[in-house]
Amino acid sequence: MVATSATLTLGGSFRHAAGQLGLTWLAGSPVGVGERHDAREPVAVEQVLAGDDPPPPWRHLDVGSPFDYARQSQLWVARQLPDPGRLAVSWAREVDELLIELVQAAGGRTLGLFSSTAAAARAAASVRAATDIPVLLQGEDSPGALQHAFASDARTCLFGTRSFWQGVDTPGSACQLVVIDRIPFGHVEDPLSKARLAAAQDGGRNGFLEVTLPPAAVLLAQGAGRLIRSTADRGLVAVLDPRLETAGYAGILLGTLPPFYRARSKEAVLASLRAIDQDAPALLPAGPRPSERRRVAS
């Protein structure tokens, strides 16, 4: 079996992906890129229990990326914001204000990835009320129509939830800012996640690190990956959740992201976005917006 993906590693390690496939390490640590174990090869759990001879060693390889993330892109974590897990109301208010500044500096060109439908709708309403920048909102038209309109108009924003964290491919100047409102942890009441958490805890393991954190890290990397889609692209990912820098698990999340250049201040971020906006080439004239297409069709 050959498994390939851009998001197989967690914090730079293949160990979680191997575990999800039923493989485990007998001892030792994960090997480096392209290397293999000698006497400590990973084997299937069932074969260990049955006493069978171990299978041929499984190998992993990280082939890197064609993109020069450190030169093409930046990552900024808004660590000055309140913790959304403890101060949700004040965090939401400050996020709306900061989002308006970011979108204005970028001149549109923004893909907003939000943790809930309500958060996306609130953000769209705030930007629409404070600016004349067009905002496309998930649910107001089909996903395909929204993505086409976004790619066709460089001054447009597209705000959506989980279905837009993957599969949105907008190379060029139409998407030069990706805003992620918070770390995409799953719903705590999901029955499958609750069962897995309970099993981990019953086994004396850390349920958060084993069950909750890995899918959030992968989804965060997939969302951030919407920014750079070609070797000519450039832009910035803004994560409006300070826990990406302040939490004890932040290193795992950051280690799963592409190696962006790290921006440190809001002032530098706004200046970078304005510079990118001034240099961005104009796209072809946009067609009718999704709502206009509906009016024409009627």
For residue range 42-66, list pLDDT tens digits in order. Answer: 444 444 445 555 554 567 777 677 7
* Claim to verify: residue 151 and residue 267 sit in the same structural domain: yes
Residue 291 lies inside a defined structural domain of this protein: no
- The pLDDT value recorded for residue 121 is 97
* Claim to verify: residue 56 and residue 89 sit in the same structural domain: no
* Claim to verify: residue 109 and residue 195 sit in the same structural domain: yes
For residue 78, which of 98, 93, 92 has the smallest C-alpha distance?
98
* Claim to verify: residue 89 and residue 37 sit in the same structural domain: no
* Claim to verify: residue 40 and residue 73 sit in the same structural domain: no
pTM: 0.78
* Claim to verify: residue 199 and residue 238 sit in the same structural domain: yes
* Claim to verify: residue 175 and residue 241 sit in the same structural domain: yes
More confident position, 58 or 246: 246
* Claim to verify: residue 51 and residue 131 sit in the same structural domain: no
Residue 292 lies inside a defined structural domain of this protein: no
Does 34 have pLDDT greater than 80? no
Residue 290 lies inside a defined structural domain of this protein: no
11-15, 69-73, 127-131, 290-294: which has the minimum mean pLDDT? 290-294
- The pLDDT value recorded for residue 12 is 67
Q: Mean pLDDT, to the nearest integer, of 12-29?
A: 61
* Claim to verify: residue 21 and residue 82 sit in the same structural domain: no
* Claim to verify: residue 104 and residue 2 sit in the same structural domain: no
* Claim to verify: residue 3 and residue 99 sit in the same structural domain: no
In this prediction, what percent of the chain has a pLDDT beyond 90? 52
Residue 287 lies inside a defined structural domain of this protein: no
Residue 288 lies inside a defined structural domain of this protein: no
> Do residues 181 and 95 touch, judged by C-beta distance below 8 A?
yes
User: Domain range spanning residue 51?
Assistant: 1-64
User: What does the pLDDT look like over 188-225, one tens digit per residue?
Assistant: 778 888 888 888 888 888 888 888 888 899 999 999 99
* Claim to verify: residue 176 and residue 274 sit in the same structural domain: yes
Number of domains in the chain: 2
